[in-house]
Structure 1
Amino acid sequence: MKISCIKLLMIAALISILTGGCGKKPVEYGTTSESMKPEGYGLDSSAPPGDSFGGDTFSAGDLESLDSGGANPLAGDTMSEEYRAMYGRSTAPLFPVYFDFDSSAINVDQLDNLNSSGAHLLANKSMSIVVEGNCDARGTTDYNLALGELRAQNVKNYLVNLGVPQGRITTISYGSQRPLYPGNDEDSWAMNRRADLVVR
């Protein structure tokens, strides 16, 4: 009887060791695998080289030309399809940054809106924001949370490089937990792969 209990315990331990090796690996935030590391500061590698994430830098004249006090015709209706398409969950006049599938790199086609948001933050020195990283529904929860954090961090790094003090920007990742577009199609997924800039 005593020998069969020992054998049973040894078999249970062996099964535990063998099945434990196949479990899901934990994701450590702040670190990435080689396949998830963005190039440079998160810019798409096709971006032209430059000293500011491949984008334009701002002069004082550029900032003065922005109308920070102007009324936004969409600002009152944050649930309209037009508002969601233009701003996501971002606080107008700040724009969301959209990403390619499985990527945290900032694409060149997002730089105009990101530069505009940066200029608005530079012109409004008391404004602080949260950059909210989001993903589409594909991928595991842990992976999407890590990818959303990378997206938010890359947007923050870009804004800091423009001159926005990093103390005015915090980040959070929602992964795929807060889809703005609930559909299971490429259009919905593309709109959910974004980082929103929300005034806090």
Structure 2
Amino acid sequence: MVTARQKCSRAGVALRCGAATFVLVLTGCGSGHGHGGSDAKPPADTRTAAMPAAPVPNAAHSLPAGGSAGAAEAEVLKAYGLMWAEQIKAYRVASADGTDLKRYTAPDVWAAFQADLSRMNKERTVMRGDLGHEPEAGVLAGVQPPTATVKDCVDGSNWQTLDTTTGWRIPSPPGQPVRYAVTAKLERANGERWTVTEYTAHRTRPCQGLSGS
């Protein structure tokens, strides 16, 4: 399996807590805990300032040129990056309205996102800050429909959960690593776009980047 790597400083993630296949990435299990930060009340501008849209990663810049495997992996990383960016948009407002998140996910993954965003709405929490990651894609040869895997190392050191009722930041769960491993599966059925069919955050598995994950 040929692989390709990509490093993103900001992008746009996350699945329902306790799901068997899909694990929440953006918020902590239970009551919407985020990554890093303290329980001190932030300044007023932290609570009200609009967050900039996350850039879409350009996978082609970090892939080998000239080969069909490299081209396929570029497509996979592009699709994964687009999904990631839409997740960030959704979790910053606790709603997928106005995003293209559904476009890049299979029905089960989309349902898991919807359930988690609904929970956030009920708990009146949103996400703030930046979420970094380092995805690496590999396309499985000879598989129909075309299938690919993505290994990712997520950095949540600047990603916060905010209680919109009080304006307080909610601290992350004790012992949760700031950088943790994520795996995803993508498929391209009927010659259409690559779609994320599985997404799992290994929240107890710390990583130092793909070389050390």
Same fold (TM over 0.5): no
- From the two aligned structures, give the one with the greater strand fraction: 2
Q: TM-score when scaled to structure 2?
A: 0.28
**More helix by proportion, 1 or 2?**
1
In terms of Rg, which structure is larger?
1
TM-score by length of 1: 0.29
Q: Which has the bigger relative contact order, CA under 8 A and spacing at least 6?
A: 2
